[in-house]
């Protein structure tokens, strides 16, 4: 969910690029590759406004872990499903057809991911794990986007964060 509803394609592409980069980073850890992804957008289901929802499944040229290839494909997909005149409230990416490297069978002449992409993604992940998630990424992923989720009214995470546990003191 976006913090505010958007009418322009640029910010929606930023949302999709950010979701794609984060999903790619999470799935590189267990060593998964993917060949398909689904990009979707939708408006709120408000009876007073026009409604629209659409999505597209993208087939990547080869099984990949490369954030750059995935982000480029996802942001291009937004151009196909975006319709002007609507106030969008959600945009997202779903990675499909996840497998381990070597599980995909292709013909002898099929294009495969260059080894330099694997190395680059490993370097990018190590820099981001050491210096923070948004230290290094693609240009379409902003460090402080205007559409980011507002956390000022978020509930405490008593069950998942030790630093937010209540402290009982005797008087």
- Residue 154 banded pLDDT, cuts 50, 70, 90: low
Sequence-ordered alpha helix ranges (H) in the chain? 9-28, 67-81, 115-131
Q: How many CB atoms lie within 10 A of CB 56?
A: 15
d(CA 90, CA 15): 9
d(CA 11, CA 8): 6
Q: What are phi and psi of 119, to 5 degrees?
A: -65, -45
pLDDT greater at residue 101 or residue 99: 99
pLDDT mean across residues, the chain? 79
DSSP bridge partners of 36: 59, 96
> What's the confidence (pLDDT) of residue 127?
75
> What's the confidence (pLDDT) of residue 54?
95
pLDDT greater at residue 139 or residue 96: 96
Q: What are phi and psi of 99, to 5 degrees?
A: -150, 170
Please say whether the dihedral angle defined by the alpha carbons of residues 79, 34, 55 and 147, taken in this order, is positive or negative. Answer: negative
Chain-centroid distance, C-alpha 82:
17
Region 66-84 average pLDDT: 92
> What's the confidence (pLDDT) of residue 148?
55
Listed by start position, the domains of the chain span 9-164
> If you classify domain 9-164 with CATH, what class do you get?
alpha beta
């Amino acid at each position: 969910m976006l913090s505010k509803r958007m009418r322009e394609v640029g910010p929606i592409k930023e949302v999709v690029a950010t979701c794609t980069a984060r999903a790619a980073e999470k799935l590189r850890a267990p060593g998964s590759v993917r060949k398909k992804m689904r990009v979707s957008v939708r408006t709120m289901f408000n009876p007073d406004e026009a409604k629209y929802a659409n999505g597209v499944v993208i087939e990547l040229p080869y099984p990949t872990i490369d954030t750059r290839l995935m982000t480029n494909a996802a942001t291009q997909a937004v151009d196909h499903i975006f319709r002007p005149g609507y106030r969008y409230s959600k945009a997202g990416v779903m990675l499909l057809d996840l497998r381990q490297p070597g599980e995909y069978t292709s013909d002898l002449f099929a294009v495969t991911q260059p080894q330099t992409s694997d190395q680059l993604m490993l370097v990018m992940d190590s820099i981001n794990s050491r210096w923070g998630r948004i230290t290094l990424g693609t240009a379409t992923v902003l460090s402080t986007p205007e559409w980011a989720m507002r956390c000022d009214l978020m509930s405490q995470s008593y069950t998942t964060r030790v630093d937010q546990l209540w402290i009982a003191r005797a008087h």
